[in-house]
Amino acid sequence: MQASLALSRGTLFVGVHAKTAHVHSFDLGGRPLGTSFSFRDAGAGRSAVAGLALDDDRTLWIADTPAGRVRQFSLFGREVGGLGAPSERGVEVAPLLPGLVVRPVDVEVQGNRDQGWLAIACAGEHRHAVQLFDLDFSYRASCAALGDPQRAFRGVCRLAAEGERLYVAEALARNVQVFRAGEFLFAFQLTTRTGERLEPSALAPLADGRIVVGCRAPHSVLMLVDGAGRPLRVLAQEGLEEGQVLEPSDVVVERGSDDRQARLFVIDRDGLRVQAFTLEGRCLGAIPFASAAPATRRKNKGGR
């Protein structure tokens, strides 16, 4: 399960799903807040929070893969818009055309409706798997994989943004590509001690250029890398115990005055656990969100 996180103004949003998608909210101490909600697409019979982002207008953006739709919600769970026509849902389009959203697996947003941009990643192997839009869903451009407009992305699973930079985790290619204003800058790979390439699954760029990267195969790890993708330190090794990670699917960072004061939150174990760490790798504990009942439960019947 690809569970997702978003962090804004001291609130942590956690998106998980089975057949029904749930968005829980917490303060940074792990206490549940009263802005949680649920939804399920009637046409698909299920929904997912494969990707989750929050813009400066406090609108939640959710990549709902089964429904073939990127949804917009208010903080209180009212659906206010979205992209993805009913005829697109569940259809594997080859090739994926510019401006078309099919099986979205993640969404990232920067800024607000007046001055901002949106990135949407779609599943599969397509040239236009990573696309940029205005916040009114007007199509801007597609990112070119490795700078080659004829090359296909291979299994994009996670997006992350910092300023004008967009970071793209490719699961099948086992690399991270970096773009600025839609233009390719560089790519990097992380490897095990024996030279096996790690599969990236979670990304959180920092303002100083460093990046927190979670990987899930051939083994799980959470690490901090520099702006060129060179490893700086391992934050958590693979395991089930607190302070370890197992197949992390998303990570977000609350900045602090230094690495000891900053906090990062990672979701792993098929969306069953959220843990907090410092950027030095010290585990601060886990949030028992799996047992937290949403204060508000809404079901989206039409989802059109």
- The answer to whether position 299 is within a domain reads no
33 vs 203 pLDDT, higher one: 203
60 vs 289 pLDDT, higher one: 60
pLDDT at 121 over 60: yes
Is 143 exposed, middle or buried (CB count within 10 Å of its CB: 0-12, 13-18, 19+)?
Answer: buried
User: How does residue 289 score in pLDDT terms, banded at 50, 70 and 90?
Assistant: low
143 vs 92 pLDDT, higher one: 143
- The answer to whether position 301 is within a domain reads no
- The answer to whether position 77 is within a domain reads yes
- Mean pLDDT value of segment 74-91: 76
d(C-alpha 249, C-alpha 158), whole Å: 8
pLDDT at 293 over 50: no
- The answer to whether position 48 is within a domain reads yes
**Residue where the block lists tokens 């749930």:** 22
User: How does residue 292 score in pLDDT terms, banded at 50, 70 and 90?
Assistant: very low
pLDDT of residue 95: 66
Task: List the CATH number of the domain containing 28.
Answer: 2.120.10.30
User: How does residue 92 score in pLDDT terms, banded at 50, 70 and 90?
Assistant: low
pLDDT of residue 236: 98
Mean of the per-residue pLDDT values for the chain? 91
pLDDT of residue 284: 95
- 210-232 pLDDT, tens digit per residue, is 999 999 999 999 999 999 999 99
Q: Supply the DSSP symbol for 240.
A: S
The strand pairing partners of 70, in sequence order, are 63, 83
CB distance 64 to 104 below 8 Å:
yes
- The answer to whether position 263 is within a domain reads yes
User: How does residue 84 score in pLDDT terms, banded at 50, 70 and 90?
Assistant: confident
Percentage of the chain exceeding pLDDT 70: 91
> Could you tell me the residue range of the domain that residue 93 belongs to?
4-291
pLDDT of residue 282: 96
- The answer to whether position 271 is within a domain reads yes
- 19-59 pLDDT, tens digit per residue, is 999 999 999 988 999 789 999 999 999 999 999 999 999 99
Least confident of 1-5, 148-152, 249-253, 295-299: 295-299
CB distance 226 to 210 below 8 Å:
yes
How many residues are there in the chain? 304
Total domain count, the chain: 1
pLDDT of residue 85: 58
- The pair of structure tokens assigned to 14 is 């956690």
pLDDT of residue 302: 40
- The answer to whether position 300 is within a domain reads no
94 vs 4 pLDDT, higher one: 4
pLDDT of residue 301: 39
Q: Which of 214, 230, 211, 210 is nearest to 222 (CA)?
A: 214
- 132-147 pLDDT, tens digit per residue, is 999 999 999 999 999 9
- The answer to whether position 32 is within a domain reads yes
CB atoms within 10 A of CB 163: 10
pTM for the structure as a whole: 0.92
